[in-house]
Structure 1
Amino acid sequence: MAPSLTKDATGSVTAGSEKTFFGHPRGLATLFMTEMWERFSFYGMRALLPLYLVSSSGLHMNAGTATAIYSVYLAMVYLLAMPGGWIADRWWGPRRTTAIAAGIIMCGHLLLAVPGQGVFFGGLALVAIGSGLLKSTISTMVGHLYQGPGDPRRDGGFTVFYMGINLGSFAAPLIIGTVGENVSWHLGFGLAAVGMALGLAQFLLGSRHLSPESSVVPKPQPREEKLATIRKGLLWALAAAVVYGVLVATGVYTLNWALVPINIAGLVIPVVVLARIRRDKELDRAERSKMSAYVWFFVAAALFWMIYDQGGSTLSLFGESRTTNSLLGFDFPTSWYQSVNPVFIMALAPVTAWIWLALNRRGKEPSTVTKFASGLFLVGVSFFVFLIPLLDTTADERVSPMWLVAIYFVQTVGELCLSPVGLSVTTKMSPAKYSSQMMGVWFLAVTAGDSVTSLLSLAGVNLDRSGVVAAQAALAALAGAAIFMYRRTVRTKMGEVH
Structure 2
Amino acid sequence: MASTTLESGVQSASPSGKTFLGHPRGLATLFMSEMWERFSYYGMRALLVLYMTASVTEGGLGMKMAVASAVYSVYTAMVYLLALPGGWIADRFLGARKTVALGGTIIMIGHFLLALPVGVSFFAGLAFIAIGSGLLKANISTMVGHLYDGPNDPRRDGGFTIFYMGINLGAFAAPLVIGTVGQEVDWHLGFALAGVGMALGLTQFLLGTRHLSAKSDVVTSPISAAEKSAILKKAALWLAAAVVFYAVVALTGHFTINWAIWPLSIAGLAIPVFVFAKVKRDKDLDETEQSRMSGYIWFFVAAAVFWMIYDQSGSTLNIFAEDNTASTLFGFDFPSSWFQSLNPLYIMALAPVFAWIWVALSNRAKNPSTTAKFAFGLLMIGASFIVMMLAMAAASGGAKVTPLWLAMVYLIQTVGELTLSPVGLSVTTKLAPAKYASQMMGVWFLAVTAGDCVAAIFQLVLGDDVVGSTWYFAVQGGMAILAGAALFMYRRKVVRLMGDVH
**Secondary structure in 1 aligned to 2:399?**
coil
Q: 1:84 aligns with which of 77, 83, 86?
A: 86
- Amino acid in the other structure paired with 1:39: R
Name 2:484's counterpart in structure 1: 480
CA shift, 1:432, in A, is 4.9
- Alignment CA distance shift 1:276-1:140 (3 Å): closer
- How far apart in 1 are the matches of 2:275 and 2:182? 39
Q: Which runs of 5+ in 2 are unaligned?
A: 1-13
Deviations 1:36-93 (A, max 9, x none): 2111100100111111110112111111111111111111111111100111222222
Judged with a 3 Å threshold, the aligned counterparts in structure 2 of structure 1 residues 344 and 369 are, in CA distance, closer, same or farther, namely: same
Aligned residues: 484
**1:306 offset after TM fit, Å?**
0.4
Asked if residue 167 in structure 1 is aligned to residue 166 in structure 2, the reply is: no
- CA drift of 1:237 comes to 1.5
Q: Secondary structure at the match of 2:255?
A: coil
Pick from 71, 74, 96 the counterpart of residue 72 of structure 1.
74
Answering whether residue 37 of structure 2 is matched by residue 33 of structure 1, we say: no
5 Å-filtered alignment, 1:168-187, equals: 168-187=170-189
Q: 1:213: how far off?
A: 4.5
Q: Which moved more, 1:440-449 or 1:121-130?
A: 440-449
Cα shift readout 1:358-393 (whole Å, capped 9, x = no counterpart): 334444333222222111111111111111121223
Matching of residues 203-352 of structure 1 within 5 Å: 203-352=205-354
Give the superposition deviation at 1:128: 0.7
Compared CA separation, residues 497 and 205, structure 1 to 2 (3 A): closer
- Higher mean Cα deviation, 482-491 or 36-45? 482-491
Post-superposition shift, 1:407? 0.3
1:296 and 1:231 map into 2 onto residues whose CA distance is 36
Per the alignment, residue 53 of structure 2 pairs with 54
Residue 149 of structure 1 and its aligned partner are, at CA, apart by: 6.2
Question: Tell me, which stretches of 5 or more residues in structure 1 are unaligned?
Answer: 1-14
Letter in 2 for 1:483: L
2:52 aligned partner, one-letter code: L
**Cα distance change on mapping 1:141 and 1:482 into 2, 3 Å:** closer
Could you tell me how far 1:148 is from its partner in structure 2? 6.0
CA distance in 2, matches of 1:254, 1:457: 16
Q: Deviations over 1:416-454 (max 9, x none)?
A: 122233233333444454444322222111110000001
Match of 1:137, SS state, is helix
Output the amino acid matched with 1:78: Y
Tell me if structure 1 keeps the 8 A contact 2:87–2:441. no
| Alignment partners' CA distance in 1, 2:259 and 2:131 | 20
Question: Which residue number corresponds to residue 490 of structure 1?
Answer: 494
Say if 2:353 is the partner of 1:354: no
More moved, 451-460 vs 222-231: 222-231
Alignment TM-score, normalising by the size of structure 1 = 0.90
Go from structure 1 to structure 2 and tell me whether the alpha carbon gap of 1:218 and 1:207 turns closer, same or farther (over 3 Å shift): same
Give the match for residue 7 of structure 2: none
Q: What secondary structure is seen at the aligned counterpart in 2 of 1:228?
A: helix
- 1:234 positional shift: 2.1
- Say yes or no: does 1:111 pair with 2:116: no
Determine the structure 1 residue equivalent to 2:389: 387
Q: CA RMSD in A?
A: 2.5
Question: CA–CA distance in 2 between the matches of 1:18 and 1:429?
Answer: 29
1:469 alignment counterpart: 473
- Percent of aligned positions that are identical: 63
Contact 1:322 1:395 (C-alpha < 8 Å) held by counterparts: no
| Larger relative contact order (Cα-Cα within 8 Å, sequence gap ≥ 6) | 2
Specify the code of the residue in structure 1 equivalent to 2:485: A
Partner Cα separation in structure 2 for residue 300 and residue 416 of structure 1: 14
CA distance in 2, matches of 1:49, 1:123: 12
Any idea what SS the aligned residue of 1:437 has?
helix
Q: Which stretch shows the higher mean deviation, 428-437 or 66-75?
A: 428-437
**Structure 1 residue 18: Cα displacement:** 6.6
